[in-house]
Structure 1
């Protein structure tokens, strides 16, 4: 594992003032186990949220209830990222806290990408049985097949609360720029049984099996994409022979898609106002990480000792 020199010396390369954090939304990203000693967050998720105007903090995969509560108290929302782990108790607790805030009138925002999308789907269903596996959807770029609800959604329709005039429905119907990297997902028939689960778009894998590509909660600020928009701008992939490992589309349409989705998500999170307290001890990712690993699947990965 290659760690940055600054991290090894115990020096932070970025020091954020309290004012810089309270002036913008602060979004938590749940880290995942990397090995027996470390947890990680790919830098692409941090950069993706920053592209939308947010700062980021880490929600540990192994956080206890008190730590989850402190992080929720000091953030505007949570993004659950892609990966492999099973749904952990801290994510369940964070979801319960978020929905309690929402019930109380605070629009605390939740988002999920790939595995995170699946976690949110299971949490909304209150069941792990809504998840199906066996999809042939690794390294697969697709154009979205929108539902009528998707065309009129908060996420994709600029006339329903977005901050852009970009026609996202046309852009994503006409261009195969959503990168899928999953073997599990949500069947549209099963999705119809989840209360308040609005299917925005679907796709089929290489074998013709349908899966949900995106959803939003009918009333709550909860959003998910089965595909990986954080990769279009920030991940190129590759191995020792410079062969692309992740065929994310980096053309104008792919970049625009990612920017519009994260801009919407961050603006939704901003509706909660200032929640971050510099005295809380919750540190931004740049200050709290204990090193950076460089690799292929993710060009840069922030690491934390467990």
Structure 2
């Protein structure tokens, strides 16, 4: 070997491996270091495994029983990409374009502040919205227009609504009585023709049916929120309360969900004592005024689709001028259910008037007037002169 180069010693591999193993086993510090390696690895792996398993279990838990149609297993279904479900045919016995006639009331709804013409009449826009919210349109029945025009308009509608107000005599009373008589005649002739009578409408219909103009009593129920107390053993099938969910029906008796705004009414005792009234109407609910004096608050005719309310179902959702109008979610549901029932009854009317005549008389031909600053509780009114 040339001078200056050191020779690399030869290594016996088997001996060195043996020595390293024996050295490791003989050294305590080396032993503890080696044993800690798998423990650290397990700590690093354990937490991610737990997270993974928790996600798997959470995904496996059902969050809802509601499934989209594409998520349901149906042996009869075909590929949703190539087959579109057909809509069922509409019921030919129902009218899906109902129109409701609303009788106007004398004045402008604001004690002459908006229009002081002697021949002015109005319909609060809340009644119009009430009807429209359930899927119908409105034709105004102007109380002081010629009788032949009013009767012609009655041939264009599928139901009638009498509003609140103050007029209990004169031309308004006579017009309302004439329309009420026509409603009964239509039903007697086989046409399903519903009527809603609200507040003043309730009072006037009570006077007409009882044939007693002095049958009403005074109550203290102006601008008051109240409950509705159902009569014992009342059957709600077939009347305005039939679609109310059970929890809302219960709340009607415990929470102040309806709005009263009247100074006249009739007690259950006086109502039942009048043979004409008790044979025509059945009492559904009563309410109490500020002095705990009880009055009849909802009635349903025995043989006609006629419902009368001493309270105001339209105000909860559509009026803001009076302080005691309930505006809770439950109160809004009351408005919607009452409106829905009325229009479901109007859809049963098979009256199909000419479209052009309907369009010519719809309330869309008029514009509402804002009276929230000048009125006495109404936000908007339609004024007719």
TM-score in terms of structure 2 length: 0.66
- The answer to whether structure 1 residue 186 and structure 2 residue 269 are counterparts is no
Alignment partner, residue 270 of structure 1: 347
Alignment partner, residue 97 of structure 2: 24
| Pick aligned residue for 2:338 from 245, 261, 272 | 261
* 1:195-274 → structure 2 map (5 Å cutoff): 195-237=279-321, 245-274=322-351
Aligned counterparts of 1:45 and 1:157: Cα–Cα separation in 2:
19
Task: Decide which structure has the larger Cα Rg and report it.
Answer: 2
Q: Which deviates the most, 192-201 or 251-260?
A: 192-201
Q: Which runs of 4+ in 1 moved over 4 A?
A: 164-168
Aligned counterparts of 2:145 and 2:251: Cα–Cα separation in 1:
39
Aligned counterparts of 2:98 and 2:232: Cα–Cα separation in 1:
31
- The answer to whether structure 1 residue 174 and structure 2 residue 285 are counterparts is no
Alignment partner, residue 6 of structure 1: none
Aligned counterparts of 2:286 and 2:355: Cα–Cα separation in 1:
42
Aligned counterparts of 2:302 and 2:247: Cα–Cα separation in 1:
21
Aligned counterparts of 2:368 and 2:238: Cα–Cα separation in 1:
38
Structure showing greater relative contact order (alpha-carbon pairs closer than 8 Å, 6 or more residues apart): 1
Alignment partner, residue 91 of structure 1: 176
The CA deviation string for residues 219-240 of structure 1, in whole angstroms up to 9 with x for no partner, is 2000011111111001111xxx
Aligned counterparts of 1:128 and 1:280: Cα–Cα separation in 2:
37
Classify 1:30/1:232 alpha carbon distance in 2 versus 1 (closer, same or farther; 3 Å).
Answer: same
SS in 2 for 1:202: strand
Aligned counterparts of 2:300 and 2:178: Cα–Cα separation in 1:
20
Deviation at 1:105, TM superposition (A): 1.3
SS in 2 for 1:298: coil
Alignment partner, residue 13 of structure 1: none
TM-score in terms of structure 1 length: 0.82
Alignment partner, residue 53 of structure 1: 135
Does structure 2 retain, via aligned residues, the 8 Å contact 1:144–1:202? yes
Aligned counterparts of 1:149 and 1:182: Cα–Cα separation in 2:
28
Deviation at 1:168, TM superposition (A): 4.6
SS in 2 for 1:127: coil
> What is the aligned length?
271
Does structure 1 retain, via aligned residues, the 8 Å contact 2:268–2:296? yes
Alignment partner, residue 128 of structure 1: 213
Alignment partner, residue 298 of structure 1: 378
SS in 2 for 1:79: strand
Unaligned runs of 5+ in 2: 1-94, 108-115
RMSD (CA atoms): 2.0
SS in 2 for 1:130: coil
* 1:74-153 → structure 2 map (5 Å cutoff): 74-87=156-169, 88-132=173-217, 134-148=218-232, 150-153=234-237
Aligned counterparts of 2:167 and 2:348: Cα–Cα separation in 1:
31
Alignment partner, residue 5 of structure 1: none
- The answer to whether structure 1 residue 284 and structure 2 residue 362 are counterparts is yes
